[in-house]
Amino acid sequence: MKSAEELVVDQHLHATEIARFHSHVVCGPTASDCDIWIGAIGKDGYGRFYLTRAGSGVCVRPHRYALAIVSGVVAAGVLGLHECDNPVCVKVADATEPRQHVVSGTQGDNMERMARMRRGGGRNKLRRFDSRGVRRDRSVALREAVRHGWDGDAVQAALLGDQPMLW
């Protein structure tokens, strides 16, 4: 994917596009649950949403598109960051909600968060469950857990993956 360009989503002009987007989202049953993208998922474990505008096709990240639905526009260089740590979450919670999900940020913010979570290269050891393949497997498992309706047990199993239970 190319770098994040300005993304405009007009509620009236793009109504059909927005409806198609929502047809690929399953909302969690409680306010703190993620809203899960059940559309295409790339090799990196993040969703893909394909648009055709002015005769050209473009692929955008669904969590960034969700930000644009709420705000109308996401400026060039602004990313959607997952505070919930779920790459297929597309829930944009308002600031009054106790748990944030997808928020706007810069690549610098993203790198800072990655370091704080002990991910990435350099001196940080990459946590085993953060590799691209494992992240994609987790995203696909989450998609399948909610594709035909929210299955809480399947969601928990997908989120935990092969991590040992501590309780």
Q: What pLDDT, on the 0 to 100 scale, is given for residue 128?
A: 47
Cα atoms found within 13 Å of the Cα of residue 81, Cβ hemisphere only: 16
DSSP 17-84: HHHHHHTTEEE-SSTTSPEEE-SEE-TTS-EEEEEEETTEEEEE-HHHHHHHHHHSEE-TT-EEEETT
Q: Of 33-37, 57-61, 71-75, 160-164, where does mean pLDDT reach its minimum?
A: 160-164
- 36 or 114, greater pLDDT: 36
pTM: 0.86
Residue 129 has pLDDT above 90, yes or no: no
Q: What pLDDT, on the 0 to 100 scale, is given for residue 34?
A: 94
**In this structure, are residues 154 and 142 in contact, taking their beta carbons and an 8 Å threshold?**
no
Instruction: Name the band, by pLDDT with cuts 50, 70 and 90, for residue 3.
Output: low
Tokens at residue 133, please? 């393949």
Q: What pLDDT, on the 0 to 100 scale, is given for residue 35?
A: 96
Q: What pLDDT, on the 0 to 100 scale, is given for residue 124?
A: 47
